């Protein structure tokens, strides 16, 4: 298989869905974007009805069920967008949404109402306005390029944007959020890696992966190309029912990140995006998994479990607590196996 799969008929021809699902697939594809790269398709086991890679990328009729608490803009991007392309939720950093397309489309995407083929990209005039906003905001220390996936841009265009950001004196950190290394590792070329680096600035790359099988040998080579260029990497994952909602899978995923020289950063609780309720766990389940992880892997492999408060109120850690303060008597601290100890 050498092409990106976008049509329901192509998914069926590739063996990723049975023919009798054609109608359901078409209904989902009419609402939400579909794209599966050859590299992702090769990871899917068509004989496994519960394959965790297929669950992330192959459309499911459950996506057409929207619960009352779900919303088109679940983390409130629009409420914090002073100009198109900028989200300024926190004082010292902004999101710069260059593109609204991705190499693949995750079925649980929190921006699924905003991304897909044909969605508007930032025009040169709108990019000028976005960068003018950053330049006029001296407290902005970090610019985070997201979307969509900014790394789908050519090295030339990406490099031009990075150089323009680098010309803003008060911006010190440039961060990229991407899935490209995982879903199309051959696109991580030396030219693209060079384009990520801003003269006089520090570049970070945050890689999104949710299952250890995603970190194939080819992906590890692509990641090494970034890290060997002096660009530190962190991870972002989403806690997904049927994909990574067990301690063994999370342990393997976080260990794989560390082996690749990627520091586990965030484990996101599932956002209230439309049609994603079948992916979401409870926060209590997530906290239990984080407790299990704390007892199984070193600090290097511990992500922070976070919730983006619906409505645009920001991201907060929601991991388990280990200490009960007891006033002057001190505190009771719970160890990693659940025994309470006096402090």
CB atoms under 10 Å from CB of 318, counted, come to 16
Verify whether residue 102 is a known catalytic residue. Answer: yes
Residue of 32, 97, 105, 106 with catalytic role: 106
Verify whether residue 90 is a known catalytic residue. Answer: yes
Which residues, 6+ apart, have CB-to-CB distance to 169 below 8 Å? none
Residue of 60, 77, 102, 204 with catalytic role: 102
* Residue 315: both structure tokens together: 């991201």
Q: How far is Cα 153 from Cα 175, in angstroms, rounded to an integer?
A: 15
* CA dihedral sign of residues 105, 107, 113, 114: negative
Give the residue among 157, 203, 154, 149 at the shortest CA–CA distance from 178.
149
Residue of 204, 260, 271, 280 with catalytic role: 271
Residue of 31, 93, 225, 294 with catalytic role: 93
3-class state of residue 30 by DSSP = coil
Residue of 21, 89, 112, 291 with catalytic role: 89
Q: What angle do CA 215, 291, 279 make, to 5 degrees?
A: 55
Residue of 111, 112, 175, 280 with catalytic role: 111
Verify whether residue 296 is a known catalytic residue. Answer: no
Verify whether residue 111 is a known catalytic residue. Answer: yes
Residue of 6, 27, 90, 241 with catalytic role: 90
Task: Annotate 47-99 with DSSP letters as a single string.
Answer: T-TT-HHHHHHS--GGGG---TT--SSTT-TGGG-SSTTEEEEETTEEEEE--
Q: How far is Cα 102 from Cα 121, in angstroms, rounded to an integer?
A: 12
Verify whether residue 89 is a known catalytic residue. Answer: yes
Which residues, 6+ apart, have CB-to-CB distance to 30 below 8 Å? none
DSSP-assigned beta bridge partners for residue 306: 268, 317
| 287 membership: H or E segment, kind and range | helix 283-294
Contact 60, 29 (CB under 8 A): no
Verify whether residue 164 is a known catalytic residue. Answer: no
What is the largest distance, in Å, between two alpha-carbon atoms of the chain? 69
Verify whether residue 73 is a known catalytic residue. Answer: no
3-class state of residue 22 by DSSP = helix
Cis status of the peptide bond prior to 91, with omega within 30 of 0: no
3-class state of residue 150 by DSSP = helix
Residue of 97, 109, 245, 263 with catalytic role: 109
Verify whether residue 225 is a known catalytic residue. Answer: no
Active-site amino acid positions: 89-90, 93, 102, 106, 109, 111, 271, 308, 315
């Amino acid at each position: 298989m050498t092409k990106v799969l976008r049509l329901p008929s192509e998914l069926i021809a590739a063996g990723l869905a049975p023919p009798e699902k054609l109608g359901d697939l078409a209904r989902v594809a009419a609402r939400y974007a579909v794209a599966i790269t050859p590299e992702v398709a090769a990871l899917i086991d068509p004989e496994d009805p519960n394959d965790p890679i297929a669950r992330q990328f192959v459309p499911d009729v459950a996506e057409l069920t929207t619960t009352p608490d779900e919303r088109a803009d679940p983390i409130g991007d629009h409420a914090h967008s002073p100009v198109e392309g900028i989200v300024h939720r926190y004082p010292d950093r902004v999101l710069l949404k260059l593109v609204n397309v991705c190499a693949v489309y995750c079925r649980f995407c929190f921006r699924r109402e905003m991304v897909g083929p044909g969605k508007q990209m930032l025009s040169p005039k709108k990019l000028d306005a976005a960068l003018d906003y950053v330049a006029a905001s001296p407290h902005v220390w970090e610019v985070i390029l997201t979307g969509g996936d900014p790394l789908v841009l050519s090295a030339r265009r990406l490099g031009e944007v990075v150089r323009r950001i680098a010309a803003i004196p008060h911006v010190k950190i440039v961060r990229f959020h991407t899935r490209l290394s995982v879903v199309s590792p051959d696109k991580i070329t030396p030219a693209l890696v060079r384009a990520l680096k801003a003269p006089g600035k520090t570049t970070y790359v945050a890689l999104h992966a949710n299952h250890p099988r995603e970190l194939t040998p080819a992906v590890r080579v692509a990641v090494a190309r970034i890290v060997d260029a002096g660009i530190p990497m962190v991870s972002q994952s989403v806690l997904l029912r049927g994909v990574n909602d067990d301690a063994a899978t999370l342990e393997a995923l976080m260990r794989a990140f560390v082996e690749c020289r990627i520091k586990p950063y965030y484990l996101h609780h599932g956002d209230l995006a439309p049609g994603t309720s079948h992916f979401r766990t409870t926060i209590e389940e997530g906290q239990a998994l984080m407790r299990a992880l704390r007892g199984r892997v070193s600090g290097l492999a511990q992500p922070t479990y976070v919730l983006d408060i619906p409505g645009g109120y920001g991201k907060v850690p929601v991991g388990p607590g280990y200490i009960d303060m007891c006033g002057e008597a001190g505190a009771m601290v719970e160890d990693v196996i659940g025994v309470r100890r006096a402090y």
